[in-house]
Amino acid sequence: MKYLFIIYIILMLNNISFSYVFNIGSTGLLLPYSLGIISYLKNNNIKSNKLIGTSGGAFCSIIYNYENNLSHDKLWYDIFNLNKNTTIGLHNLGLFQKNTINYLINRYNDNYTNFDNINIIVTKYNSILSKEKIIFDNFDNNTDLLYKCYCSSYIPYISGNKYYYKYNNNKFLDGAFNKKSKIENNKYEYLTNNDIKININCNLWDRKFNLDNRYYLDIKNSKELFDYGWKDTEKNFHLLFKN
């Protein structure tokens, strides 16, 4: 924590206000690892009022934004509404995504309105030869927000039975697709010189995952990944602020 304290003192002496921007990337089935990272940050009062989410990172952004208790069991049982016998793999990932959307729509009903700080990256599908990355930063309500998260995490023929997901008369793919494409709209204009951007993804701390971690999730595997994310961040925390 000493590095963060030094940064804070320097900024205060120069009368500089700053905010943390969490850029949470795609997760695949390593989702609990990213959740462990953001749980550690929130538990240690590293609060973000700007969130950029891509694919599974879009759901991480929502969970970070709305949940105070980010313990693993809370996430598994209460937020994703899973039971101890659930196993998630590529064969049932689409069903898990759809169930999660429906459950979170009910959980985060329109009594929750704090989504102005969330930005969701998606890949817009125009044709087989034309794809573009765009950012959703405007949401009608939480239902709209969650379906746009689904757009951001839609994997062709795995999340559904089509190559793309159609929403509001547009076609979308996972936001992590077409990585070479630049953001066509919204850019990152909301980033200022006083923002500290923290990129969060499964490669953040160079951990080597085994095949079990990558291809299926059960409660034991999920807890292991979550703990890895927490402990890796605790160990390397000071590196987040190193330019």
Q: What is the pLDDT of residues 28-66, one digit of tens each?
A: 999 999 999 999 999 988 888 789 999 999 999 999 999
pLDDT for the residue numbered 18: 57
Question: Which residues of the chain fall below pLDDT 70?
Answer: 1-18, 178-194, 241-243
Which pLDDT value is given to residue 189? 46
SS3 of residue 136 by DSSP? strand
Question: What pLDDT, on the 0 to 100 scale, is given for residue 15?
Answer: 47
Which pLDDT does position 6 carry in this prediction? 55
**What's the one-letter identity of residue 25?**
G
pLDDT at 31: 96
Q: Extract the runs of DSSP E, i.e. beta strands, from 25-146.
A: 48-54, 88-89, 118-127, 130-136
The pLDDT of residue 185 is 45
The model carries a pTM of 0.86
Helix (H) or strand (E) holding 243: none
Q: What share of the chain is helix, strand, coil (3-state, %, to 5)?
A: 40, 20, 40
pLDDT attached to residue 186: 44
Question: Pairing between strand 130-136 and 118-127?
Answer: antiparallel
Asked if 239 and 3 count as a contact pair (C-beta separation under 8 A), the reply is: no
The pLDDT assigned to 116 comes to 86
